């Protein structure tokens, strides 16, 4: 990995940590936060995978919620249909919430000293 890639990767890791903080402190809507988490993990892995932490839980959760409307997208759906989707989404959230929260805390702790300069 060259210095530029290392710098870019470290910036993505810092964003990952920042997003984990935003999720755990409810500064960002949970589903939007995990969609962003999945994106950031992908960008990091494009450069070099994180080998000191297992982030598979985010991919599993993303795979289960990816087809549910979030944010502005919800305005395009019928309210009755949204209620049905929301009840399914609530079950998924309950299944993963504690695991995701713990993993966010692990990210916050593990990457607190990451540097974004070479």
* Span 29-85, pLDDT tens digits: 899 999 999 999 999 999 999 989 999 999 999 999 999 998 889 999 999 999 999
**116: in domain:** no
d(CA 19, CA 27): 9
**100: in domain:** yes
Domain of residue 46 covers 3-110
% of the chain exceeding 70 in pLDDT: 97
**19: in domain:** yes
Q: Which region holds residue 26: left if phi is over 0, alpha if psi is between -120 and 50, else beta?
A: left
pTM beyond 0.85, yes or no: yes
Q: Which of 52, 59, 42 is nearest to 99 (CA)?
A: 59
**115: in domain:** no
**106: in domain:** yes
**117: in domain:** no
pLDDT at site 1: 85
């Amino acid at each position: 990995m060259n210095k530029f890639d290392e710098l870019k990767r470290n910036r993505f890791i810092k964003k990952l940590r920042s997003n984990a903080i935003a999720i755990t402190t409810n500064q960002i809507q949970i589903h939007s936060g995990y969609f962003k988490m999945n994106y950031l993990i992908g960008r990091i892995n494009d450069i070099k995978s994180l080998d000191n932490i297992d982030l598979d839980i985010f991919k599993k959760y993303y795979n289960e919620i990816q087809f549910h409307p979030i944010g502005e997208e919800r305005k395009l759906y019928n309210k009755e249909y949204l209620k049905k989707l929301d009840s399914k989404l609530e079950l998924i959230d309950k299944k993963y919430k504690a695991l995701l929260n713990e993993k966010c805390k692990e990210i916050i702790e593990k990457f607190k000293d990451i540097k974004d300069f070479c």
